[in-house]
């Protein structure tokens, strides 16, 4: 799994993409200090 990063308003965000480009999009935002592995 490769994490990707983007920048906005002086902040750095790490994200993952799953599924196909023709599928609906859902955005999940994890709170400060929690790793992305906390999602079920």
Query: If you write DSSP's letter for every residue of 13-38 in order, what string do you get?
Result: EEE---S-TTSPP----PPTT--GGG
pLDDT range class, residue 1, cuts 50, 70, 90: low
Which is higher by pLDDT, 32 or 7? 7
Q: Phi/psi at 33 (nearest 5 deg)? A: 85, 5
pLDDT for residue 35 = 74
Number of separate domains in the chain: 1
pLDDT for residue 17 = 83
Q: Domain range for residue 30?
A: 4-38
pLDDT tens digits for range 12-34? 988 888 888 899 988 877 777 77
Which is higher by pLDDT, 33 or 1? 33
Contacts of 11 (CB under 8 A, 6+ apart): none
pLDDT for residue 5 = 93
């Amino acid at each position: 799994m490769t994490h990707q990063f983007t920048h906005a308003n002086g902040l750095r965000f790490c994200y993952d993409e799953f599924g196909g480009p023709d599928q609906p999009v859902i955005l999940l935002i994890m709170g400060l200090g929690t790793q992305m592995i906390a999602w079920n």
